[in-house]
Amino acid sequence: MAEKFYITTAIDYPNNKPHIGHAFEKIGADVQARFRRMLGQPTFFLIGNDENTVKVSRRAAELGLDPKSYVDQMAEVFKAAWRDLNISNDEFIQTSEPRHWTGCQKFIQIVHDAGYIYRKAYEGIYCEGCEAFKTAKDLVDGRCEQHPQLELKTVREENYFFALSRFQDRLLKLYRDNPEFIQPESRRNEVVALVESGLEDISITRQNLDWGIPVPFDPQQRIYVWFDALLNYITGIGYGTDEAKFRRWWPAEMHVIGKDITRFHCALWPAMLMAAGLELPHRVQVHGFVLIKGAKMSKSLGNVVDPMDLVGQFGADAFRYVLLRLCPFTGDGEFSFDQFVSVYNSDLANNLGNLYSRTLSMCLRYFEGNLEGTAGLVPQEVLGDLDLEAFHRELTARMAACEYHMALAMIWEGILDRANRYVDRTKPFELAKTDRDRCKEVLANLASTLRTAAVYIAPFMPQTAQKLYTAFNFTPAFADIHWDMAARTGPLAMDLKVTAPTEKGRVRPLFPRIQ
């Protein structure tokens, strides 16, 4: 296990508020960061906004604001959304911040001095949606694949170029020697094919722009989008401003990005780092799209879903769970409100929520919440037919591979379904009348299973996990739980008792059913 874990997401354009696609990426990265912390790895989690763009300055002008005022306002909108979704990032970087400008200017100067940047006149096809120049092989039927609704423009400028073509062989060696560098394998194959087909040098500055980072060796030019944006991964941890912090966290163990920007992160970014003499990240984890009626979300198509609408109605944990259960993180997934309701009711209200309510209600009704005499009990009955050690190993591997929908299926089928079948089989509500000691033992087994479930769902549903774990007097404190605790089935240290809040002696439902 690595001594530390540095994880990032792509930074977002703040030309509009975040949508469900942004939330999908942030939640997926957050699950990984929480999982790594539970493994005991010191973890640093970086997110942020990509602000030095033409789209941002244009949007600011439409609102009658200067760009900096606009991006600062939008940063607060994004930060609020991520707080509401319980994203546990350690840092939020704005690329308009002085620390980012300082780091970018240092980096581009180093690469220029190393001989990888040169100036030339250029004419190219430009997509305003991507804020990127396109070559013929990037186009589908003469249009940008990601923004087919936008007209491409021909741009003529004299700019500085990065000699990306000089890194083709080194990149192919990187992919060959480090097959884990790009995940999943399907995305790795796409990038390898792209690089094998030939790389062209790319424009990394623009002239005649008022907004953006000045090029230190030519102040009339501004550093262009990708050569600026990608550098947030190092400026956000101190490159150019806090070298001790930078040495502490770089290189990144995982960059989490969408499949539409793989060529920038898997070809351009490592080439930039090679040119600057910096270590490469260990892994680029590519996620798919959240599809609405089979199409990628787009403001122009009118199918953008505001995640905060669902969070406001049903809570962050419910939204996090359903989104990752419906949509495979390493591939595309379909999302709709009807699907949300169906999964919410079946998995959260009827399964997890019902198990929690039944277990606590019976403890309160039959024993006033005190399961005296349960200390020393080894609570193995519920999961007795499960090879918990093998289950734990497989679940841990699924988590590390970002196969979240499969990990959640394992938890629900392997732990929660077993617990609900155990209730139906043992019938503690009947044992309360005929064998109270056995009833108490059954309820202690169920309580312990809720503890196991709490540990496993903590990366996905942190608030719900805390409610499950603190429903009884389990030790250690919830803040100190470790991932491997879920696989331990030693004797209970003390008599169990209900510590969950109640209303007039009744348990508050975790997930009220959606009618």
The neighbour count for residue 150, using CB atoms within 10 Å, is 14
Phi, psi of 486 (to 5 degrees): -65, -25
Q: Is 298 exposed, middle or buried (0-12, 13-18, 19+ CB in 10 A)?
A: middle
| Active-site residue identified among 26, 104, 127, 402 | 127
Annotated active-site residue in 17, 79, 147, 497? 147
Q: Which two tokens stand for residue 437?
A: 């000691």
Catalytic site includes residue 112:
no
Tell me how far apart the alpha carbons of residues 250 and 46 are, in angstroms, rounded to a whole number: 12
19: annotated active-site residue: yes
State the alpha helices, DSSP H only, in 251-344.
262-263, 269-276, 307-314, 316-326, 337-343
Q: 19, 106, 255, 405: which is the annotated catalytic residue? A: 19
100 noted as active-site residue: no
Compute the distance between CA of residue 316 and CA of residue 81 in angstroms, rounded to an integer.
10
Q: Is 363 a catalytic residue?
A: no
Alpha-carbon distance of 330 to 286, in angstroms, equals 6
Which of 22, 26, 100, 287 is the catalytic position? Answer: 22
- 62, containing H or E segment: helix 54-62
Is residue 266 annotated as part of the catalytic site, yes or no? no
Catalytic residue among 153, 299, 427, 482: 299
Q: Quick check: is 4 catalytic?
A: no
Q: Among residues 144, 363, 402, 439, which one is catalytic?
A: 144
Residue with tokens 């669902």: 310
Note if 265 is an active site residue: no
CA count, 13 A, side-chain hemisphere, 169: 1
CA Rg value for the chain? 26
Q: Which residues of 180-207 are buried (b: 16+ CB within 10 A; e: fewer)?
A: ebbbbeebbebbbebbeeebebbbbbbe
In the structure encoding, which two tokens stand for residue 244, read together? 């001790």
**Strand-strand pairing, 5-9 and 254-258:** parallel
In sequence order, the 6+-apart residues with CB closer than 8 A to the CB of 90 are 43, 44, 45, 46
Is residue 284 within 8 Å of residue 9, measured between CB atoms?
no
Q: Euclidean distance between the first and final Cα of the chain, in Å? A: 46
Tokens of 269: 């970014």
Catalytic residue among 104, 130, 266, 402: 130
Q: How far is CA 443 from CA 6, 428, 430, 509, in A?
A: 41, 7, 12, 18
Q: Which residues are catalytic?
A: 19, 22, 127, 130, 144, 147, 296, 299
